[in-house]
Amino acid sequence: MIFNTEMELMPIDKLRTVQNERLVSTLQRAYNNIPFYKDLYDQAGVNLSEIKSVNDLHKLPFTKKNHLRENYPFGMLAVPQTELSRVHCSSGTTGKPTVVAYTKNDIEVFSEVVARSLAAAGCKPGMKLQNAYGYGLFTGGIGIHYGAEKLGMAVVPISGGGTEKQIMLLKDFQAEALTATPSYALTIAEELKKRGEDIRDFNLKVAVLGAEPWSEALRSEVEQGLNLKASNIYGLSEIIGPGVSNEDFEEQGTGSYIWEDHFFPEIVDKVTGEPLPYGEPGVLVLTSLTKEAMPMVRYWTGDITTLTYEHSEKRTHIKMGPIIGRADDMMIIRGVNFFHTQVADILPDFPQLSANYQVVLTRPKNMDAVEVGIEINPSYFNHYGIPFDDLNGGAPDEVKKLISNIQKKIKDNIGLGMAVKLYQNGSLPQSDGGKLNRILDNR
């Protein structure tokens, strides 16, 4: 369903006019009210009157996460604190968090883009939505909540974690929609299976999953396990929260629509910062076009993806591909660039494997080494009746062959030799409600 037909179907030339007008006023707001931006542009010798359209954006320097940290807590505000309506923080990292703030109108925009996202994912007014994103400083919980209410859904604000209760309420309330991190949706799906629940006792139709990278293998496990359609939602606190972009559930796998009337995207080279043509992978850089409290101009997200209009069938807005990784957590192993999501990409080739994996880095004898732990698909495991201890080590030939085929695939696709270890289902770290870290760095 299309939530806002006027904006989501706006012809591209008209959309550009809207973006250009909004960009000019965003730049003025930032320059006139935020000393950080005034200094940034003055020092770079930029004359803002020369920036008339989104095509001129590349002349401006980037805004980066350390800039937000250096201006902790409220140095990036373009409005007096008395005009704020809400404050959130970006997740992760130790020390002082990254603070983001919203006016009343920003919350309206936030709700609007989440409502569009949920509608694209197949949610409809009148449906019940169990919201298993964490409530609190994280933008996921409350952000989805407001957008779902705006769309006309009834929200069950359960937050993340408490898998037993999640399952009880999903069954008793018969919610049609679930929002969670993909790894937590998998935890719920696996728990259902473990308990021998009958999926016909549930009423789930759609899930809207994001906040961390995930794969097609994980999508199919969640879709099968919960008997629903799962779509990707992307966003980050600095730009607004969830709802910067969303996949349409009927166009799965072709990318996520970025709500371009509010967020202008660019892709740039991760080393030189130069703009890259559509289709080429690089760092996603976003400019907020309507934010009042904390306008962000050319914000370096660090997320690596692609942009293209090629698959924009139902709407006019541009699509971004899945997040391949983050520029700052790309690993360079023995000279080869490597993102852990590349492991996820080979899993669907092996029906014997589940979608849950972990990458362990070690440094024996001063050389980086990678071991990939992968959980086995329980039906395969039962089929062979192999005691778990035999999966590695003294494994039967078939298992040995499987391991060497996985290693070969990894070597061919990623260009790196890695050790592969198989695990029984449920024995690798699982999400307990939030984002799952798949990299264990023991170097």
Nearer residue to ligand DLL within complex by CB, 289 or 320: 320
User: What's the angle, vertex CA 25, arms to CA 20 and CA 139, rounded to 5?
Assistant: 95
Q: Measured from the CB of residue 334, what is the shortest distance to ligand DLL in angstroms?
A: 25
Question: With respect to ligand DLL, which residue has the nearer C-beta, 51 or 158?
Answer: 158
Nearer to ligand DLL (CB atom), residue 187 or residue 352: 187
Residues 6 or more apart from 389 whose CB is under 8 A from it? none
> From the CB of 115, what's the least distance to ligand DLL, in Å?
14
Closer to ligand DLL at the Cβ: 41 or 88? 88
Q: Do β-strands 439-441 and 353-362 pair in parallel, antiparallel, or remain unpaired?
A: parallel
If the CB atoms of residues 233 and 374 are measured against ligand DLL, the closer one turns out to be 233
Nearer to ligand DLL, 22 or 340 (CB): 340
Identify which of residues 329 and 390 has a Cβ nearer to ligand DLL in the complex: 329
Query: What does the alpha-carbon distance between residue 40 and residue 30 come to, in Å, rounded to a whole number?
Result: 11
Shortest reach from residue 207's CB to ligand DLL, in Å = 12
Tokens matching residue 247: 């996949």
Q: Nearer to ligand DLL by C-beta: 297 or 344? A: 344
| Residue nearer to ligand DLL on the CB measure, 210 or 255 | 210
Nearest by Cα to 283 from 246, 327, 241 = 327
Identify any residues that bridge with 299 across adjacent strands, giving them in sequence order: 63, 286
Q: What's the min distance (Å) between Cβ of 215 and ligand DLL? A: 10
Backbone angles phi, psi at 346, to 5 degrees: -90, -15
Closest separation between CB of residue 397 and ligand DLL, Å? 38
Prior bond of 364 cis (ω within 30°)? no
| Number of other residues whose CB lies within 10 A of the CB of residue 440 | 14
Q: Among 286, 283, 287, 244, which residue's Cα sits nearest to residue 267? A: 283
Nearer Cβ to ligand DLL (122/241): 241
d(CA 135, CA 116): 21
Q: Calculate the CA dihedral of residues 325, 237, 38, 105 and round it to 10 degrees.
A: 140
Q: Give the shortest CB-234-to-ligand DLL separation in angstroms.
A: 4
Beta carbon of residue 365, minimum distance to ligand DLL (angstroms, whole number) = 33
H helices of 9-162, where?
A: 12-33, 35-43, 65-70, 104-120, 139-151
Q: Footprint of ligand DLL on this chain (CB under 6 A)?
A: 90-91, 133, 138-140, 210-213, 232-237, 241-242, 301, 303, 323, 326
Q: What's the rounded Cα separation, in Å, for the pair 320 and 134?
A: 25
For residue 366, give every residue at least 6 positions away whose Cβ sits within 8 Å of its Cβ, in sequence order, or none: none
Distance CA 214, CA 6 (A): 31
Q: How far is the CB of 391 from ligand DLL (least distance, A)?
A: 30
**Least distance between ligand DLL and beta carbon 97 (Å):** 10
* CB-nearer residue toward ligand DLL: 285 or 420: 285
Closest distance of CB 241 from ligand DLL, Å: 5
| Shortest Cβ 168–ligand DLL spacing (Å) | 23
- Residue by residue, DSSP assigns 159-204 as -S--HHHHHHHHHHH--SEEEE-HHHHHHHHHHHHHTT--GGG---
Name which of 16, 40, 8, 96 is nearest 299 in CA terms.
40
Axis-axis angle for helices 163-173, 182-194 (nearest 10): 80
